[in-house]
Amino acid sequence: MLKDVLPAKSMVISVLMCCVVQLGADVIGEVRAGDPDVVFYRIKANKILFLGNSITRHGPAPAIGWLGNWGMAASTQDNDYAHRVLKAIAQAAGREPQAIIANIASFERQYTTYDADSALEKELAFKPDLVIVAMGENVPALTTEPARTAFQASTNRLLRRLRENSNPVLVVRSCFWPDPAKDAILKQACEEVGGVFVEAGARAKDESYFARSERQFSHAGVAAHPGDRGMKAIADAILEALRTKQP
């Protein structure tokens, strides 16, 4: 049953404590003037921006047994969902896109006061063609109508800013740990800006998608993240959504 494989409340709190590292936005790859466009199934993808939490990228945190600098808790950088997406697009297009993979857990913790122009200055200046947003897990439970309204307004504001910045194709992924209130808001906000919504929560019904099913971790919060199989499933869902997107 779903309740048997989803993180317990104490584990979720541990995960929240994992996600305090805010990583700088480093540009991966190079696209030179005059080069042909990187195109993935009719979608221009010269520049790709990933925005998420520790599932997207988390720096080394020895105190919790995490030494990577990629999506927690993939076994290697190449196995996290963002790098899987980049590899698939590069293989299909015949050349590699540029990318920024940024942790915006600060939005999840402080969404009511989040200033995208300040917090995402480099990411906005990057002018991405494709933006993939994968967040929500660290947002405190939306147990009241004011909380839901505030998260809706903040999410709408963030996605509109991303859309108006460079008119990218916008993909929004649902929470890996399903949350009906959060996922409904993410979906509505995504649809309102003409984005593509990707359902990812079904994977949490299968214990084999969690990192703890693949190897041992000293920290339960790290172990509750998607493992290599879970990361592949997230990447596959995003890629399938892009393949089937109508021009």
**What percentage of the chain has pLDDT greater than the value 90?**
82
pLDDT tens, position by position, 108-161: 999 999 999 999 999 999 999 999 999 999 999 999 999 999 999 999 999 999
For 116, the enclosing helix (H) or strand (E) is helix 116-119
pLDDT tens, position by position, 160-215: 999 999 999 999 999 999 999 999 999 999 999 999 999 998 877 889 999 999 99
Q: Tell me which residue range forms the domain holding 20.
A: 2-244
Q: Residue 98 phi/psi, 5° resolution?
A: -85, 155
pLDDT at 17: 42
* Of the candidates 150, 161, 160, the residue with the CA atom closest to the CA atom of residue 185: 150
Residue 3 has pLDDT above 70, yes or no: no
pLDDT at 24: 53
Q: What is the CA radius of gyration of the chain?
A: 17
pLDDT, the chain, mean:
90
CATH number, position 193: 3.40.50.1110
Q: How many domains does the chain have?
A: 1
* Of the candidates 55, 71, 84, the residue with the CA atom closest to the CA atom of residue 175: 55
